[in-house]
Structure 1
Amino acid sequence: MITSLSTGMILGFSAGMAPGPLLALVISETLQHGARAGIKVALAPVLTDLPIILLTLFVLSRLSGLDTLLGLISLGGGVFLCYLAWQGLTFSGSPMGAEAAPRERSLQKAVLVNVLSPHPYLFWLTVGGPLTVRALEQTWFAAAAFIGSFYLLLVGAKIGIAVLVGRSRRLLSGRPYIHTMRALGGMLLVLALLLLHEGWELISAAS
Structure 2
Amino acid sequence: MGKYLFMGMVLGLSAGLSPGPLLALVISETIRLGISAGIRVAMAPLISDLPVLILSFLLVSCLSGSDPVLGIISFAGASLVLKMGISIIRTAGQMPQSAGQASASLMKGVLVNILSPHPYLFWITVGAPLASKAWQVHPGGAVEFVAGFYLLLVGAKLALAFVVARTRNFLTGAAYVWTMRVLGFVLCGFAWGLGREGARLLDWL
Q: TM-score, normalization: structure 1? A: 0.60
Q: TM-score, normalization: structure 2? A: 0.61
Structure-to-structure mapping, 1:166-177, within 5 angstroms: 166-168=165-167
> Does the residue aligned with 2:24 lie in a helix, a strand or coil?
helix
1:55 deviates by 1.1
1:51 deviates by 1.1
Q: Deviation per CA, 1:105-151: give whole Å up to 9, x if none.
A: 10000000001111000000110010011011012211100000110
Q: Which residue of 1 aligns with 2:58?
A: 58
2:123 maps to amino acid: W
Q: How many residues align?
A: 135
Show structure 2 runs of 5+ residues with no match.
64-68, 70-97, 170-205
Structure-to-structure mapping, 1:71-82, within 5 angstroms: none
1:168 deviates by 3.1
CA distance in 1, matches of 2:138, 2:146: 13
Q: Deviation per CA, 1:146-170: give whole Å up to 9, x if none.
A: 000110011111001100111237x
- RMSD between aligned alpha carbons? 2.2
Q: Which residue of 2 aligns with 1:183?
A: none
Task: Work out whether 1:112 is the aligned partner of 2:130.
Answer: no
Q: Deviation per CA, 1:51-80: give whole Å up to 9, x if none.
A: 1111122234479xxxxxxxxxxxxxxxxx
Structure-to-structure mapping, 1:142-157, within 5 angstroms: 142-157=141-156
Q: Which residue of 2 aligns with 1:185?
A: none
CA distance in 1, matches of 2:57, 2:8: 17
Show structure 1 runs of 5+ residues with no match.
64-83, 89-101, 172-207
Structure-to-structure mapping, 1:96-111, within 5 angstroms: 105-111=104-110
CA distance in 1, matches of 2:58, 2:120: 11
Q: Which residue of 2 aligns with 1:48?
A: 48
Task: Work out whether 1:14 is the aligned partner of 2:14.
Answer: yes
2:15 maps to amino acid: A
Identity %: 53
Q: Deviation per CA, 1:32-55: give whole Å up to 9, x if none.
A: 100111011001111111211111
Task: Work out whether 1:131 is the aligned partner of 2:130.
Answer: yes
CA distance in 2, matches of 1:36, 1:126: 33
Task: Work out whether 1:158 is the aligned partner of 2:157.
Answer: yes
2:51 maps to amino acid: P
1:166 maps to amino acid: A
CA distance in 1, matches of 2:58, 2:142: 16
